[in-house]
Structure 1
């Protein structure tokens, strides 16, 4: 008994000098075999380091801060096992266990999200509070205060899990949650884009195990999970900010200087070096110190952390925040490292730009970027040009002119030739940073037009939570107003819009349209990967076709054609079908997806004002 007690005392003392190990473990049989492990503790760098089990240490790197040491080990062809690092200083030594875990079968070639999916975006703090016991946690600063527009409200992972059936029933196949790692800011921490610990789920959302449970629950439903990753900045309260590994781990001016937000300087051949530097090195805000990805230690830390979460939580894809605000050569290396590890893994970049060429630049193998000998290696980009049209109110322009009305939508798609892979564009009418669609267009008619577009054009549609019940909110009031509580997500809510009985008549109209369109879309390969032919709008009516076989007389099962008619005018319009004969060909009828009404194609088609028809041709 004395021997056991003595061993426990020695063991507890042996770990006293190590406060953090990151990544906390790794896996065998990975492409990333040179694993650089960060050990942090008081004067840890004063020690000599060795490792057991014949594992090779390839490099030991120390910095100006003696509390850090970076040890790179070679894991190539090393089986999964537990082993020990030994830290020795003179006659004193201590050990730290480490593990290489077995990799999940098929992990490398995991299927990611693509144009067959519909992504449901939510902010966990504002979606649903499934566990009121984690609303306030002693280890983090900010507590729940639902009276403040930018306060924490208490939504969590358990709230998401409890409502997965609702999300799936709506037609969504993929969940994108804004970041879930710890954000220990004093205020505004609910959005979690200022992360303070990249290996730990914020305790007010739950635990790492809860996140694994969310991933498992989604996969049990054959749904996918997208992690929102931030490569550009951390929180001012990140634990490294209090004791930096190196002075240049973050961009220093010294200290804070705000970015000029002009990420177009990446491509501008006339840009000054000072402007380019400030765009990528300046901080978003004072509470978000800007990471220096040119520092190899920083870049490798971000690569390993990203891979760690994919492997640990069985992630199906990334959305990357503020992608062009990083050093563009470094972010390309980061992206390539991940896609080398997971060849089918989809990553969508937030390149918030309102210019087709500028957006196209950031997609993998872009011919535009090739002019400057650049490749981001990022498979997918966000179609902010399309979102910008919605936000600027083109659907309110009920009279077609040279540059007004639905012609703007046509002019948007004529620029698709600039995009390397249009099927891998994320298409959306709003998200957590933009004006709410239902605030700009407070009516069901415009909502149906927008959803009909997202359900039938090229790309990967993304729906922002609450849009499907008509939720509004104004960015002019504050960001918190476009991130309201979902009705029914809190115990004190009097209404539960997660259920049909709990929705108002108007909310149910929004919901029914959304559910009908996106459940229809699920199995329509003609929409996922088909071609497009569109026609110049007339009288504010836009007509386009999606098809996957140009010969309608072909009896192959994949032969499909969908005719979409968008009437942005308030007046009923008559469409002469003879104009579209090159696509209609020998089809004789079309059945509308929403109303299930059949139209005879040899006759003219009447369409009500402010409405859309999606006709499956027969």
Structure 2
């Protein structure tokens, strides 16, 4: 009887003390990963007073920080098989309690997953503003901000189920890849809908759905032969993140004597050989905003935490790519290690970084194997960057009706003259706008001819095209006058009870208007053609200096050639085929995939004012 009582009391003690482990992250891992060194974080009140042992597993290191509520356990997982191990927490060489931890079986061929590339077209959404598929999760008891669709800066209720419900729409449009702005929990009391101030890196925001819903989104997309990109934030977390409230180390984040200091946003200080150290620190260590503590990627524990977190989501959700927010604000050596670790794990994966700069050399500095970066022995290992200089040009070109030395189509031409700076020019993201810029149709005042010219360029030049949700139906939005909410309007028809449903064609009751249909039909036609036209994905770009605001270029390989003509002039223009013999070669005719008309390219022909042609040469 006495021995039974001792056992019962021991079990009670073990159960009681085990409750002090509040979090174990990552919540589980996989056997057979490329990197065998794995770090487990255990969090709980005064947990560091215990020692750790794991039978049959090599413990490489146990790190205890100045905060007694953390233990970081580094394991060698090379010999670990799928199953559950027991982590024993000991005191005075006696086991006080144990924590089970699971290693799962990896998906077959997981390491060789192929990321997005120039054969893809990326469709960018803000999930809160795209479609509401589950009205029950618009607000949630565990998050502060509640749904208020009348507030342009509030949460509107879009969610993962809403995206799943409209995957057929994206497929039909010709999009092959979805990039959603972040879906992880953001528990800020206001403006949490953008989800860039995250409060839990292992949890989908419950107002969007569950972790399993996110896995299901990827699965449903893969059934349609589509890809999913996660928007990942390395530079900052949200002020309500549970670890920010109880920092593992003081230098987990960048801190300033005065408390808050905003970044000076001068990313050039990352490589400027003349930059002062104070200015460089002011950019990289300054906070992006008051609610976004700046993470210290030079802290090895933090760097390892976010590296494993990104890999966890790739493996768990079966992702096809990452887009990294504010990439060039990170500690550059730290973010390079983060990027390389992911690419080492998944060699054919793709990651695109937001390097919002206005000079090609400065952007090319960040692409993998950059010769510019090599000047100061730096390699970011980042496969792809975003072509912001092309975006800069696109926001003005088609409002410049007459060409001069530096206006009109010459701006597009000049952008591509600097392609030699990039080590992999086909792996550049090209876009007319995104969730941080004025909408392209606002800039061009809803002029569909200007939209067609802009999108002709985006869809046929080198790189990976990305469009922003709603551009394909002519949506407007001006952040300069009305704030961010105006460029992040709800997609019409995404909510039950919407008076109009732009997911449906114009021949349906309450479907797209005739104007919306014109935008949509053009986009759909070109994108579905592009999907099956490999010469546009990787063909050589041959461009000619624009004359009379007419820009002509070719995309060609050994099998096929495409001639693109963009007439940004207010008058019809004659095309002198003699000038373009280098691209036309011995081709006789071309079919314009926009109008389905056939053109004799052996003699002069006319292109109408403010129009474009995409000629498949034969």
TM-score (norm 2): 0.96
Pairing of 1:77-88 with structure 2 (within 5 A) = 77-88=79-90
- Alpha-carbon distance, 1:89 to partner: 2.8
Give the structure 2 partner of residue 587 of structure 1.
587
What residue is the counterpart of 2:416 in the other structure?
Answer: 413
Contact 1:182 1:196 in 2 (8 A): yes
Post-superposition shift, 1:416? 0.8
Is 1:343 aligned to residue 347 of structure 2? yes
Q: 1:133 to 1:9 in 2, by over 3 A?
A: farther
Q: 1:142 pairs with 142, 145, 154, which one?
A: 145
> What residue is the counterpart of 2:512 in the other structure?
503
Query: How many Å separate the matches in 1 of 2:525 and 2:329?
Result: 38
SS in 2 for 1:19: strand
Q: Cα deviations across residues 396-453 of structure 1 (Å, max 9, x unaligned)?
A: 0000111111111111111111111110000000000111101001210011011111
Give the drift of 1:270.
0.6
Q: Which runs of 5+ in 2 are unaligned?
A: none
CA contact (8 A) 2:14 2:96 kept: no
Q: 1:340 offset after TM fit, Å?
A: 0.3
Q: Are the equivalent residues in 2 in contact too, given 1:131–1:156 (CA < 8 A)?
A: yes
Aligned structure 1 segments of 4 or more residues deviating by more than 4 angstroms: 2-12
Cα distance in 2, alignment partners of residues 267 and 296 from structure 1: 22
* Matches for 1:19-98 after TM superposition, within 5 Å: 19-52=22-55, 54-90=56-92, 93-98=96-101
Contact 1:120–1:176 (CA under 8 A) maintained in structure 2 = yes
For 2:388, the equivalent position in structure 1 comes to: 384
1:458 partnered with 2:456 = no
CA drift at 1:9: 6.1
Secondary structure of the corresponding residue to residue 239 of structure 1: coil
Match of 1:231 in 2: 234
CA distance in 1 between counterparts of 2:601 and 2:91 reads 85
Deviation of residue 86 (structure 1)?
1.2
Contact 2:325/2:353, CA 8 A, preserved across alignment: yes
Match of 1:492 in 2: 497
Contact 1:142–1:186, Cα closer than 8 Å, also in 2: yes
Q: Conserved in 2, the CA contact under 8 Å of 1:14 and 1:95?
A: no
Aligned to 2:333: 329
Equivalent residue for 2:526, pick from 517, 520, 525: 517
Residue 108 of structure 1 aligns to a residue whose secondary structure is helix
Aligned positions of 1:305-324 closer than 5 A: 305-324=309-328
**Residue equivalent to 1:112:** 115
What is residue 596 of structure 2 aligned with on the other side?
Answer: 596
For 1:414 and 1:142, locate their aligned partners in 2 and report how far apart those are by CA, in whole Å.
Answer: 48
User: Residue by residue, what CA displacement relative to the aligned partner does 1:324-343 show, whole Å, maximum 9, x if unpaired?
Assistant: 10010111000000000000
Question: Cα deviation per residue 1:135-182 (whole Å; 9 max; x = unaligned)?
Answer: 110101100011211100000000000000001111010000000000
- Alignment TM-score, normalising by the size of structure 1: 0.96
Assess, with a 3 A threshold, how the Cα gap between structure 1 residues 96 and 526 changes in structure 2: closer, same or farther.
same
The residue number in structure 2 matching 1:274 is 278
Matching residue within 290, 300, 305 for 1:301: 305
Which residue of structure 2 lines up, in the alignment, with residue 609 of structure 1?
Answer: 609
Q: Secondary structure at the match of 1:233?
A: coil
Give the count of matched residue pairs.
Answer: 606
Q: In the alignment, which residue of structure 1 is the partner of 2:375?
A: 371
Would the aligned equivalents of 1:451 and 1:517 in 2 still touch at CA under 8 Å? no
Specify the SS of the correspondent of 1:143.
coil
> How many angstroms apart in 2 are the aligned matches of 1:399 and 1:614?
22
Deviations 1:346-380 (A, max 9, x none): 00010000001001101000111111111100000
Partners of 1:6 and 1:435 in 2: how far apart?
A: 66
Compute the displacement of 1:77 (Å).
Answer: 2.5
CA distance in 2, matches of 1:384, 1:236: 29
Shift in Å at residue 492 of structure 1? 2.2
Instruction: Confirm or deny: 8 A CA contact 1:406 1:568 kept in the other structure.
Output: yes
